[in-house]
Amino acid sequence: MKNLVSTNWLANNLDNVRILDASWHMPNTKRNTLREFQNAHIKNSNFFDLEKTSDQNSLLPHMLPDAKYWEETVSNLGIKNSDHIIVYDNSDVMSSCRIWYNFLYFGHSPDLISVLNGGLKKWLIEKKETVNYDKYFSKSSYAVTEDLSMVLNKNQINENIKNKTFELIDARSEERFHGLQLEPRKELKSGNIEGSKNVPFMELINEKDNTFKDKRELGLVFEKLQLDTNKHKAFTCGSGVTACILGLANSIISGKNPVIYDGSWSEYGLK
């Protein structure tokens, strides 16, 4: 697995990879991701819209689309199964990790899908070049193979409350997890899934440059939870985005693909 690449590595390989800007912002930020991309992005990158590449027929946010829709979307960008894809973002919720997860779920080789460590924030700190023009690629014929073992539904979550077959870890803040803060979505109650544990995703990130902590430090964060090491880990959050940050961190530690409760609290916490 090549989960992460450095800004220096990407600067030296701009013409050898496919680069996607997967920035997404919480609605209350009032930020326009596409406009931000058009104003400044990493050379050779294409905008990859998290909203438009999710299930358009679901009432829940960011749910995985069907395989045919993903195939068409990725093919229209000219991405091939053999491409090494680098995903980055300029988002407070590190939305690139969700797109990294989606590509893995739809069968892209784990060695050929990576997140830019530190994202656009680190790229700009280092005063690396950005551009405001688009790069176009001819349409491809991308092929999908879904890995259903990487996604959980509500029934499986409820079964786990009774059977305790896996450890469920929530990426939301402590305040939201413990029900001390109202959810951003008004239709949701406060609290958490019975039996779940909490790792606020920012505990995995170096505040200075938005990079992931090293493998040893990441391991220590999870060790604090006193998890049953004989059980698999699965991840949840507010709407399936920041859960993938935990999923990526766990992949760095274990080398395993992440398992995500796709509906997350947006489904489970409905009043």
- d(Cα 34, Cα 32) in Å, to the nearest integer? 6
Which DSSP string do the residues of 136-189 spell out, in sequence order?
------------GGGEE-HHHHHHHHHH--EEEEE-S-HHHHTT-S--SSTTB-
How many CB atoms are located within 10 Å of the residue 194 CB? 12
| Cβ neighbours, 10 Å, residue 11 | 14
- Residue 134 maps to a domain: no
Global pTM exceeds 0.95: yes
Q: Are residues 230 and 196 in the same domain?
A: yes
Query: Could you report the per-residue pLDDT of 47-94, keeping only the tens digit for each?
Result: 999 999 999 999 999 999 999 999 999 999 999 999 999 999 999 999
What residues contact 178, with CB distance under 8 A and at least 6 apart? 191, 192, 198
Q: How many CB atoms lie within 10 A of CB 15?
A: 7
126/117 Cα distance (integer angstroms): 13
Q: How many domains does the chain have?
A: 2
User: Contacts from 48-51 at CB under 8 Å and sequence distance 24+?
Assistant: 48/20, 48/21, 48/22, 48/77, 48/87, 48/99, 50/22, 50/24, 50/95, 50/98, 50/99, 50/241, 51/24
Do residue 107 and residue 155 come from a single domain? no
Chain segment 199-255, per-residue pLDDT in tens: 999 999 999 999 999 999 999 999 999 999 999 999 999 999 999 999 999 999 999
In a domain? residue 69? yes
Mean pLDDT of 33-38: 96
pLDDT computed for residue 6 by the predictor: 98
pLDDT category, 27, cuts 50, 70, 90?
confident
Q: What angle do CA 77, 105, 72 make, to 5 degrees?
A: 30
Closest CA to 177 of 157, 154, 156, 200: 200
198: domain CATH number is: 3.40.250.10
Please state, in angstroms and rounded to a whole number, the distance separating the CA atoms of residues 151 and 186. 26
Residues 6+ apart with CB under 8 A from 13: 5
Q: Specify if 167 maps to a domain.
A: yes
Do 155 and 69 belong to one domain?
no
Q: Is the pLDDT of residue 2 over 90?
A: no
Q: Quick one: 205 and 258 in the same domain?
A: yes
Pair (62, 97) in one structural domain: yes
Q: Are residues 30 and 101 in the same domain?
A: yes
Q: Which residues are tagged catalytic?
A: 237
Cα diameter, the chain:
53
In this structure, the answer to whether residues 205 and 243 fall within a common structural domain is yes
The residue range of the domain holding 71 is: 4-125
Are residue 180 and residue 220 in the same domain, yes or no? yes
- The residues near 85 (Cβ < 8 Å, ≥ 6 apart) are 17, 18, 19, 20, 79, 103, 108, 112, 113, 114
Same structural domain, 204 and 243: yes
Residues 30 and 113 in one domain: yes
> What is the C-alpha separation between 169 and 196, in angstroms, rounded?
6
Mean pLDDT value across the chain = 97
Q: pLDDT tens digits, residue range 139-183?
A: 999 999 999 999 999 999 999 999 999 999 999 999 999 999 999
Statement to judge: residues 15 and 105 lie in one domain: yes
